[in-house]
Amino acid sequence: MPRIAYLGPEGTFTEAALLQMVAGDMVPPGGAAGEVVPLPYDSAGGALEAIRTGDTDYACVPIENSIDGSVIPTLDGLADGSALQIYAEHTLDVAFTIVTRAGLAAADIDTVAAFPVAAAQVRKWLAAELPQARIVPAYSNAAAAQDVAGGGADAGVSTALAAQRYGLTVLAADIVDEASARTRFVLVGAPGTPPARTGADRTSVVLRLDNVPGALVSAMTELSIRGIDLTRIESRPTRTELGTYKFFLDWAGHIDDEAVGEALKALHRRCADVRYLGSWPTGAAIGALPPPVDEAARWLQATRTGGSA
Amino acid sequence: MPRIAYLGPEGTFTEAALLQMVAGDMVPPGGAAGEVVPLPYDSAGGALEAIRTGDTDYACVPIENSIDGSVIPTLDGLADGSALQIYAEHTLDVAFTIVTRAGLAAADIDTVAAFPVAAAQVRKWLAAELPQARIVPAYSNAAAAQDVAGGGADAGVSTALAAQRYGLTVLAADIVDEASARTRFVLVGAPGTPPARTGADRTSVVLRLDNVPGALVSAMTELSIRGIDLTRIESRPTRTELGTYKFFLDWAGHIDDEAVGEALKALHRRCADVRYLGSWPTGAAIGALPPPVDEAARWLQATRTGGSA
Amino acid sequence: MPRIAYLGPEGTFTEAALLQMVAGDMVPPGGAAGEVVPLPYDSAGGALEAIRTGDTDYACVPIENSIDGSVIPTLDGLADGSALQIYAEHTLDVAFTIVTRAGLAAADIDTVAAFPVAAAQVRKWLAAELPQARIVPAYSNAAAAQDVAGGGADAGVSTALAAQRYGLTVLAADIVDEASARTRFVLVGAPGTPPARTGADRTSVVLRLDNVPGALVSAMTELSIRGIDLTRIESRPTRTELGTYKFFLDWAGHIDDEAVGEALKALHRRCADVRYLGSWPTGAAIGALPPPVDEAARWLQATRTGGSA
Amino acid sequence: MPRIAYLGPEGTFTEAALLQMVAGDMVPPGGAAGEVVPLPYDSAGGALEAIRTGDTDYACVPIENSIDGSVIPTLDGLADGSALQIYAEHTLDVAFTIVTRAGLAAADIDTVAAFPVAAAQVRKWLAAELPQARIVPAYSNAAAAQDVAGGGADAGVSTALAAQRYGLTVLAADIVDEASARTRFVLVGAPGTPPARTGADRTSVVLRLDNVPGALVSAMTELSIRGIDLTRIESRPTRTELGTYKFFLDWAGHIDDEAVGEALKALHRRCADVRYLGSWPTGAAIGALPPPVDEAARWLQATRTGGSA
């Protein structure tokens, strides 16, 4: 049974994402659906590092949030240290479960435990529904539930999974002030053969570029000229050398798409370093597909051998 | 006296940055050095919005952290809503002040209040120096000091400014596990004439691009072909339309550099929308300067009039 | 009265083009319509060189033929030596006048003098109309008429102007096997202020590039990124250094178009050498006009001064 | 024995080039060295067309002259009509042989037959050595020798081969005013497998592009981004549609170079039409070689299968 580290403690959105990935068809190689060993870690970086030390087979970590942007510790954990590879992704709508202990009604609630980021996302709901309650900070969404279970707070802003884990009562479900917030999680492992191309895939790389004007544009041209649709780009300073950057790029397509293969070879030649972070299915299209090159390849083959094109 | 909103409460790193900017020569138009009215706000977005509503003249907000990356609420607050403009920046090393109440020694401390993000950055120090202490979450670095002042905790992970504000004793100064962490703050106001070109300036824009393959590369080529040195790029999904992005770009140079002026005009023609976020001094060079074009301009002028080039 | 050197002798298509340019509104500065001194030269290069030596004010030379392509001696004469500038162009349909002496009918003609290039263009007509005649080579279209006038041949493949000049009878006019052939002529002088922008103009340059891969693409990108429509490109080896090239580029637009001015400045900075060959009216559009940049320039101006865009 | 059409008549530089190609190792498939049937044609276009009609197996035609530039009839003959392919090239220094009849000395010579283009290239020599002689035009370099043999002129500006063919005496050899003139000839046949890659090869294509601004730059970027060194570019109007162009491009490298193969595929996808004119050995390097991509290809293969890169 594969071990999967995750950003814990038990009951986080990350664990919920992990369980949904396992229950679906995103089972990592080596494990039947549902048969995994989840291992909570207290940081995304720690969960990723556990792959390198052999303490886990996979890690499930958040990578992007529609409100807060990229999860930097995850990006840095993927870019630095020995190579890792992404095999799957799963996106969750951000929506909280307000938990309490059995027997407590809304009117009884004086204190609400909440991770500060979560508190900010349910502020309006709390003001309207629990106006009398005072908010007390918690370390995580799961810790908010633990606080309620331990009697440290009357209610907590937490997750459905945490309510279940800690035997709490659900006061309200699917609570969020702004409904569009979503978090994307990825399943990471040691480098290996990517999942087969599905036609709706994402490829991700980290580039390190020489500090030369135009280096980034040249690298991006290797993609655009091949019709590859970039869906994300983000520069991050490297920690080792002042004024140098690493660039995280995502695009629609799979390493087994011929155009993507050509682009990766070209980036490998051009860049100081290319770290391949994987190709994996997204379920739905995230951008324009790389152009198929079958016809052009046939033409080249015919031309090379004097056949008619 | 100009009013300056900031990410509060009193005693935050943001207020410290603000006071250093005012004490230095980064005084916003309209105020003599040191003569400002600081107004604490509970979010970066709120501080920026107060400029639009007229409740403040300026806002001081964090924009980038070397550990956590871009401050998304600041980026979104600059990109959405009516136009705002950046006039100055200031970078602080992240280093915490451990505060306590008069009369308490290290051995007396059982609880340490800390904003969770800060707690993570002084974990090793706490383990070594206050191993017996239990950490209790606080809402912000300044709130940790308030908790100490109010008796809710014995010590707090906070700032030098907060120690002063709340009459606390400094147990240890300049504490951080990883010394290289830095946060960059910006001073924002309504659109106006940028500060004069100093030769070490940053220009920042937000681009909205049509969802066409190669649109980003074409836009970036407008910069690279003019020798402009890009120092940051980050894509963010727009909230209004699925699959469309806005791009935050920074580069070395000032709107009054001729190459930058040409590039801005070209972007204005090419992009669905260009929002100019300002040109302001950085103190030290952040990248290669845009090439001066005086000689080429003279050549063009001579050529246009038949003079010898 | 300005002197105008041309590719002679008297009666060539070049002289015809020159006279039409003078009769039209393409009068060079310094001369009223029709008041010029034509000076025949025996080569395009010689006519151009006469400008440099002060032996003429202007030169009229062919630059491009729809059948034979560029007129290399003209291109080289413009690219090498001291700078010259093109002020006007005129295009003639290539169509020959078959000349003979008074009293001779088609049936009497045994020999036809023809410049070999011209002979090839009326081969079918001669085979059909003068099947009995033998072709004797002449040095030029005008020389063919001289040969007829001198009795060296019974008929000649020549021009309407030569028939007139040498007092010959026109046997047939507007003769050419393939009707689409056209020759473009240019009026060249010393560098000076270009004719005013008309909105239908051509600009021409010669670039010398460092022998670096991608140098040409970078130079052309300076044009394409500014929306400038290239209408001709041709590489020619430089004579001075092995493996180096000069490039002749034409595009739609005038040096006083802002986009063209910016592109010329950029080329001046980027290229080992840019020789400006002039901007002049073409009468009809030759390609897409450079985009007007007034709105973008206004936006930039407003942005620089904090005004609303 | 393969038949090879050439630009005749017997004794032209083209026949000389053809014989040298056959005597060397540039024997076309199907013929042992020296065993070919030369077939004179009166135009380069006619010689190329004879391949299409099956009247010849190959054609030898001039393609480029260092003084006069591209040989347009050859370019058009390659670009229009059904596909042809270049298999070899050979460059000759342009240097004339002054021929006369046995028994005639320089002082006896009153008339010199010369093709006008050739006459221009030996003008200074004639003025110095045969000042009394009058020049009479001939149709070609070979025809000048025929004129001498037939008694129509006392001497002729011709070739060594023509002197031999027509039993003439050589008055002076290797005569040319400007020593650097050279003509490049190509051996053309029906499409077939190109000669094997030698590491010093030329590839040539004709592109037809949609009439869109930037189309040419995009096509050229497909080459430059892959490190392919362009050695020639020339635009020619297409005859079929006004304002559309075809572009002749040459570069260093062979279709079996991986970078060239990728570039050809990319051009095939991008351009309205790509006509491959062949890859053939040049003997000596004409430019920077395409970068080998073996290491990048190995990296891609390893990455695709999870192996270490």
Confidence tier at A250 by pLDDT (50, 70, 90): very high
Q: Please give the Cα distance from B196 to C129 (Å, whole number).
A: 80
More confident residue, A190 or D64: A190
Q: What is the mean pLDDT of chain D?
A: 88
Which residue is closest to C205 within chain B, CA to CA?
Answer: B303
Per-residue pLDDT of chain B (309 residues; tens, 9 = 90+): 899 999 988 889 999 999 999 887 665 655 555 688 999 998 899 999 999 999 999 999 999 887 777 888 899 999 999 999 999 999 998 899 999 999 999 999 999 999 877 888 898 999 999 999 998 888 889 999 999 999 999 999 999 999 999 999 999 999 998 777 789 999 999 999 999 999 999 999 999 987 766 788 889 989 988 889 888 899 887 765 556 789 999 999 999 998 899 899 889 988 889 999 999 999 888 888 887 767 788 888 888 887 654
Closest by Cβ to C306, choosing from B193, B291, B309: B193
C221 has pLDDT over 50: yes
Query: Which residue, among D221, D267, D277, D304, would best test binding to A if mutated, counting the most A CBs under 10 Å from its CB?
Result: D304
Average pLDDT over residues C122-143: 90
Q: What number is the ipTM of this complex? A: 0.78
Instruction: Show which subunits contact A, needing at least 3 CB pairs below 8 angstroms.
Output: B, D
Q: What interhelical angle do D44-53 and D72-79 show, nearest 10?
A: 20
A164 has pLDDT over 60: yes
Closest by Cβ to B264, choosing from C255, C261, C300: C300
State the smallest CA–CA distance between residue A201 and chain D in angstroms. Answer: 15
Which residue is closest to B292 within chain C, CA to CA?
Answer: C269
Q: How would you label C19-58 residue by residue, b for 16+ Cβ within 10 Å and e otherwise?
A: bebbeeebbbeebeeeebebbbbebbbbbbbbbeeeebbb
Residues of B with Cβ-Cβ distance to A234 under 8 angstroms: 69, 233-235
Backbone angles phi, psi at C172, to 5 degrees: -155, 145
For position A29, what pLDDT does the model report?
57
Assess C118–D contact: CB distance below 8 Å, yes or no: no
Residue pLDDT, tens place only, A38-57: 999 988 999 999 999 999 99
Tokens 């206004």, located at residue: C298
For position B97, what pLDDT does the model report?
96
Contact of B189 with B80, CB cutoff 8 Å: no
**Does the beta-carbon distance from C264 to B303 stay under 8 Å?**
yes
Residues of A with Cβ-Cβ distance to D306 under 8 angstroms: 85, 191-194
**Does the beta-carbon distance from A194 to D306 stay under 8 Å?**
yes
Backbone angles phi, psi at A269, to 5 degrees: -70, -40
**Does the beta-carbon distance from B193 to C221 stay under 8 Å?**
no
Closest by Cβ to C299, choosing from B191, B268, B308: B268
Give the number of beta-carbon pairs within 8 Å between C and D. 84
**Does the beta-carbon distance from B233 to A233 stay under 8 Å?**
yes
Q: Please give the Cα distance from D246 to D234 (Å, whole number).
A: 8
Contact of B121 with B183, CB cutoff 8 Å: no
**Does the beta-carbon distance from A303 to D221 stay under 8 Å?**
no
For position D309, what pLDDT does the model report?
43
Closest by Cβ to A255, choosing from D256, D303, D309: D303
Assess A301–D contact: CB distance below 8 Å, yes or no: no
For position A309, what pLDDT does the model report?
43
**Does the beta-carbon distance from C304 to B256 stay under 8 Å?**
yes
More confident residue, D211 or C184: C184
Residue pLDDT, tens place only, D76-87: 999 999 999 999
What Cα–Cα distance (Å) separates residue C62 from each residue in A27, C183, C253, D218, D237? 74, 7, 21, 32, 17
Single-letter code of the amino acid located at D225: I
For position A102, what pLDDT does the model report?
93
Q: Please give the Cα distance from A263 to A266 (Å, whole number).
A: 5
Compute and round to an integer the Cα radius of gyration of chain D.
23
Give the number of beta-carbon pairs within 8 Å between A and D. 78
For position A94, what pLDDT does the model report?
85
State the smallest CA–CA distance between residue B280 and chain A in angstroms. Answer: 19
Instruction: Show which subunits contact D, needing at least 3 CB pairs below 8 angstroms.
Output: A, C
Assess C302–B contact: CB distance below 8 Å, yes or no: no
Single-letter code of the amino acid located at C49: E
For position B78, what pLDDT does the model report?
96
Residues of D with Cβ-Cβ distance to A297 under 8 angstroms: 265
Contacts 24+ apart (CB under 8 A), A118-125: A118/A144, A118/A157, A119/A157, A120/B43, A121/A67, A121/A94, A121/A96, A121/A176, A121/A177, A121/A178, A121/A181, A122/A96, A122/A98, A122/A157, A122/A175, A122/A176, A122/A177, A123/A177, A124/A177, A125/A172, A125/A175, A125/A176, A125/A177
**Does the beta-carbon distance from A224 to B235 stay under 8 Å?**
no
C1 has pLDDT over 50: yes
Which residue is closest to C248 within chain D, CA to CA?
Answer: D234
Query: Which residue, among B224, B249, B286, would best test binding to A if mutated, counting the most A CBs under 10 Å from its CB?
Result: B224
**Does the beta-carbon distance from A193 to D303 stay under 8 Å?**
no
For position A26, what pLDDT does the model report?
66
Closest by Cβ to C262, choosing from B262, B291, B306: B262
State the smallest CA–CA distance between residue D261 and chain A in angstroms. Answer: 7
Contacts with B, C 134-163, CB within 8 Å:
none
Domains of chain C: 1-93+181-192 (3.40.190.10), 96-175 (3.40.190.10), 193-309 (3.30.70.260)
Coil, helix or strand at residue C119: helix
Residues of B with Cβ-Cβ distance to A116 under 8 angstroms: 115-116, 137, 139
Residues of A with Cβ-Cβ distance to B120 under 8 angstroms: 43
For position A48, what pLDDT does the model report?
97
Coil, helix or strand at residue D54: coil
Contacts with D, C 256-295, CB within 8 Å:
286-288
Residue pLDDT, tens place only, B72-123: 889 999 999 999 999 999 999 889 999 999 999 999 999 999 987 788 889 8
Which residue is closest to A221 within chain D, CA to CA?
Answer: D225
For position A25, what pLDDT does the model report?
65
Query: Lowest mean pLDDT: which of A59-68, B27-36, C66-75, D120-129?
Result: B27-36
Residues of D with Cβ-Cβ distance to C232 under 8 angstroms: 235
**Does the beta-carbon distance from C116 to D120 stay under 8 Å?**
no
Contacts with A, B 158-217, CB within 8 Å:
180, 213-214, 216-217
For position B287, what pLDDT does the model report?
80
Neighbours of D106 (CB within 10 A): 15
**Does the beta-carbon distance from B217 to A217 stay under 8 Å?**
yes
For position D235, what pLDDT does the model report?
87
State the smallest CA–CA distance between residue A232 and chain B in angstroms. Answer: 6
Residue pLDDT, tens place only, C260-300: 998 999 899 888 899 999 999 998 887 888 877 677 888 88
Q: Please give the Cα distance from A247 to A228 (Å, whole number).
A: 17
Residue pLDDT, tens place only, D253-307: 999 998 899 899 989 988 889 999 999 999 888 888 887 767 788 888 888 887 6
Assess A235–B contact: CB distance below 8 Å, yes or no: yes
Taking the mean position of all CA atoms in its chain, how far away is CA B84?
14
**Does the beta-carbon distance from C265 to B85 stay under 8 Å?**
no
